[in-house]
């Protein structure tokens, strides 16, 4: 019997033969799987609808977690708002810091008495500690009460000089330095331009003093009063700290508490430092 050869079945539809690539005979390259073309749109859709939104959300969360960086201040010729200006910074609200605590020192430096009647006496050195209280604060002026405690007050005078009941003072031999101390409970001070970088002021004060020897001559008294007038400048070095420089005219006498009241006048330069609270 003769064998009948069955016709070969073509696994590929004729309609798809035109889409097959030309693969050389004997080539090892595999033909593309039609299922791959079906799965590709599914993967693209999954990435668009699920993976891409998740990535955007993660990026947003990471960005929000980062600390917010302040923008750098612009570089200009003036200080940024709220920053302290270069140099002295006067107190913009002196009414909030009415209490003054400070100290001051004065010396005559050989200056002549401004009002005469020096009787050849002067103050080589004075040290005082001050408490002040601002009583009235306005824009152009500040009115302050002051109290000074003076633990050291040195008077330079002629040794052995006396003032007779009538006639001129008699000369002594050489000079002597007399130690004294006192308190100045009555003090008034007027400060102009209190919010400025330079603050002029006028002051007047008076108080009792006691000296280790009679002042200014040997037949005077140990107990005297010191009355002074000041003119000077306050210069802020920070918002609540100031330095003070000025000129002081002082008058010392016993105010008539003795039969002899020679008294003397003295000029001096003073400087001080104060803190306001």
Give the whole-angstrom CA distance, residue 118 versus residue 108: 12
**What's the whole-number mean pLDDT along residues 21-34?**
49
pTM confidence score? 0.66
Which pLDDT value is given to residue 38?
A: 53
Helix (H, G, I), strand (E, B) or coil at 171: coil
Residue with tokens 């990535």: 55
Q: Which residues pair with 106 in a beta bridge?
A: 126, 270
Which pLDDT value is given to residue 222?
A: 96
Which pLDDT value is given to residue 214?
A: 94
Q: Which CATH number fits domain 105-276: 3.90.850.10, 2.40.160.20, 3.40.50.1100, 2.40.50.100?
A: 2.40.160.20
Q: Are 206 and 186 in contact (CB under 8 A)?
A: yes
CA-to-CA separations, 36 to 42, 170, 183, in angstroms, rounded? 10, 132, 107
Whether residue 213 has pLDDT greater than 50: yes
């Amino acid at each position: 019997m003769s064998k009948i050869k069955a016709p070969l079945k073509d696994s590929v539809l004729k309609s798809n033969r035109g889409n097959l690539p030309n693969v050389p005979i004997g080539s090892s390259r595999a033909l593309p799987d039609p299922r791959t073309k079906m799965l590709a749109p599914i993967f693209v859709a999954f990435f668009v609808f699920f993976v891409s939104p998740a990535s955007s959300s993660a990026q947003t969360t990471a960005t929000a977690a980062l600390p917010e960086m302040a923008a750098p201040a612009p570089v200009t010729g003036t200080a940024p708002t709220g920053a302290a200006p270069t140099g002295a910074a006067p107190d913009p609200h002196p009414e909030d810091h009415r209490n003054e605590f400070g100290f001051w020192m004065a010396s005559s430096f050989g200056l002549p008495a401004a009002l005469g009647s020096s009787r050849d006496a002067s103050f080589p050195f004075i040290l005082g500690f001050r408490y002040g209280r601002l009583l009235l604060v306005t824009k152009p002026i500040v009115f302050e009460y002051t109290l000074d405690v003076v633990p050291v007050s040195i008077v330079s005078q002629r040794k052995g000089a006396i003032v007779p009941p009538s006639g001129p003072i008699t000369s002594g031999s050489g000079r002597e330095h007399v130690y004294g101390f006192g308190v100045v409970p009555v003090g008034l001070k007027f400060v102009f331009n209190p919010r400025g970088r330079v603050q002029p002021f006028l002051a007047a004060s008076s108080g009792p003093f006691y000296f280790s020897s009679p002042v200014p001559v040997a037949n005077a008294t140990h107990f005297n009063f010191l009355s002074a007038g000041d003119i000077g400048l306050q210069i802020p070095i920070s918002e609540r700290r100031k330095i003070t420089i000025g000129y002081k005219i002082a008058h010392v006498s016993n105010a008539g508490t003795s039969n002899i009241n020679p008294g003397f006048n003295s000029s001096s330069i003073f400087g001080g430092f104060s803190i306001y609270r």
